[in-house]
Structure 1
Amino acid sequence: MTAKHLAIATEGETPLRLRWINVAFFGIIHALALLAPWFFSWSALGLLLFLHWLFGSIGICLGYHRLLSHKSFQVPKWLEYAIAFIGALALQGGPIFWVGGHRQHHAHTEDIQLDPYSAKRGFWWSHMLWIFYPREEFFEDEKYQKSAPDLARQPFYRWLDRYFLLLQIPLGLLLYALGGWSFVIYGMFVRAVLLWHCTWFVNSATHMWGYRTFDADDNARNLWWVSIVTYGEGWHNNHHTYPHVAKAGFQWWEIDVTWWSIKLLQTLGLAKKVILPPSPTTTQG
């Protein structure tokens, strides 16, 4: 492994400190996910796939990302809150933290100091080390709230941002009641680990490999296999070129499962002001 892939500090920067509580938390969840072979059942596997889609595509991709971060469409407030609640269950942080960090990423893409998960620090930094070596400007609530003031003003989002982790308790109890430890292992731990890495691949892999349709100022790329596991988020060159567009896959072969959900909401009259790619990249969904 080269130094390039482990470049977690820059010259003149305050030395980054490993936060062991973060390492322990993610390490324990990963370890518990390894129990999966001893608790396998087809129903648990089906639950894993459903929750990966529900929390990942609906909660994170559609909710945290395209709806809250970029405002690429609008839904009634009750539905917005419901989708954000689903996103909080994904165990990827509260909505203000997630949105604030993502907006900083777009405002300063790949800047070593200002992008929370800059790919110029190397693959492993942008994939997960940025969480293990947290910088206060991205992890202290008073600071990341400045990048998401629209959410920080709302009591519901402040509550969700503070207590999202505790939501795993009722979720775990519900899963245990429905299917015992098999549902808990697959529905919580295996699901969390798979969804973490799928999401992190957008920060890491799609800034290193893939093709570029647009000559953007950053190195974001379209990577098909990341798009498959993230329900369309891997068409990253498209997204960075038109970040406020609700649709990530512009060509017919660029499958964007999350867009299908947005299109369904639009058909039902629940999604309004849906922003589409400008002509001639607009395609029929």
Structure 2
Amino acid sequence: MAILVFFVAHYYLSLFTQTFYLHRYAAHKMFTMNKFWERFFFLFTYICQGSSFLSPRAYALLHRMHHAYSDTEMDPHSPLYSSNAFSMMWKTKNIYNDVLNRNYAAAERFEGDYPEWSLIENIGDKWFSRLGWGTAYVLFYINFATAWWQYLLLPIHFLMGPIHGAIVNWGGHKYGYQNFDNHDHSKNTLALDFLAFGELFQNNHHKLPMRVNFGVKWWEFDPTYVAIWTLDKARIIKIKRKLTTPKLQAAA
């Protein structure tokens, strides 16, 4: 039971920080927050992602490229240009490292307006930090695992952030339905969104990139929006744009 609780907690806390902080705040700035809360969620993201911590700056730049060049050869993680999800993850990793090290010219036009904290970014990307978190996961399993097969979950812990990205970008551009014709392959993969906290409403999001609620139809539920709405009401964050009901346009 302890292993299951730990795995589920790590999975969904890491997922939440990726969609709430890295995606909707760092990349899109859908809402604002003061410096204290920005640093709080920055640190919270590092703790929750652990060995697979992703730089908010590098994430923001890759994601802005993804929107600008969706499903073209310039897209850093389109499934159209990879034979499988693993090769897409490897390609994304290489571009991410180049962007992180400021060695990717195509990302330069997207610079600016993202949270920065050099101390945490530098620590989070170091081998000793990733190894340290990975060691902590292994020790937890040694102490609480009750069956050998539970150790098969460890690779998911090690690569949690990239796995979330692969689920969203592979599934969300290959499987599902379209509410809008975005001139790309973005789709809403509703059946798998329990693994993505609203991130798999990719077709909606590519049409309305600043809409804080990724669900458009009444039955499209975005769990992360509930958290954002709650934090807005608590005055921890402030949503920039109030929701309007978009006119649905049939996809081609």
TM-score bracket for the superposition, by shorter chain length: 0.7 to 0.9
Selected match of 2:62 from 84, 89, 101? 101
1:111 corresponds to: 72
Percent identity of equivalent pairs: 20
Gaps of 5+ in 1: 1-41
Per-residue Cα deviation, 1:117-152 (whole angstroms, up to 9, x for no partner): 12321452xx33244346866532214563333348
2:119 corresponds to: 159
Selected match of 1:197 from 142, 149, 163? 163
The normalised TM-score by structure 2 is: 0.78
Deviation at 1:62, TM superposition (A): 0.4
Amino acid at match of 1:118: S
Distance 1:186 1:265, change over 3 A: farther
1:223 corresponds to: 189
Deviation at 1:81, TM superposition (A): 2.2
Selected match of 1:142 from 95, 98, 102? 102
Matches within 5 A, 1:171-210: 171=133, 181-182=143-144, 189-193=155-159, 196-210=162-176
Q: Indicate the larger mover: 267-276 or 163-172.
A: 163-172
Deviation at 1:103, TM superposition (A): 0.9
Gaps of 5+ in 2: none
Per-residue Cα deviation, 1:127-183 (whole angstroms, up to 9, x for no partner): 33244346866532214563333348x4x1x33333214444564576678775447
| Alignment check: 8 A CA contact 1:61 1:233 kept | yes
2:34 corresponds to: 76
Distance 1:225 1:161, change over 3 A: farther
| Alignment check: 8 A CA contact 2:77 2:91 kept | no
Matches within 5 A, 1:1-285: 42-57=1-16, 59-88=17-46, 89-90=48-49, 91-112=52-73, 114-122=74-82, 124=84, 127-133=85-91, 138-140=96-98, 141-143=101-103, 146=108, 147-151=110-114, 154=116, 156=117, 158-165=118-125, 166-168=128-130, 171=133, 181-182=143-144, 189-193=155-159, 196-280=162-246
- Output the CA distance in 1 between the equivalents of 2:22 and 2:189: 21
Distance 1:193 1:120, change over 3 A: same
Deviation at 1:78, TM superposition (A): 1.9
Deviation at 1:260, TM superposition (A): 1.3
Q: How many residues align?
A: 234
- Output the CA distance in 2 between the equivalents of 1:182 and 1:225: 32
| Alignment check: 8 A CA contact 2:156 2:163 kept | no
Distance 1:53 1:171, change over 3 A: same
| Alignment check: 8 A CA contact 2:216 2:246 kept | no
Deviation at 1:192, TM superposition (A): 4.0
| Alignment check: 8 A CA contact 2:27 2:114 kept | no
Deviation at 1:249, TM superposition (A): 1.3
| Alignment check: 8 A CA contact 2:192 2:200 kept | yes
CA RMSD of aligned residues (A): 3.1
Per-residue Cα deviation, 1:230-262 (whole angstroms, up to 9, x for no partner): 111001111000111211112232121111111
Amino acid at match of 1:231: F
| Alignment check: 8 A CA contact 2:59 2:96 kept | no
- Output the CA distance in 2 between the equivalents of 1:79 and 1:216: 34
The normalised TM-score by structure 1 is: 0.70
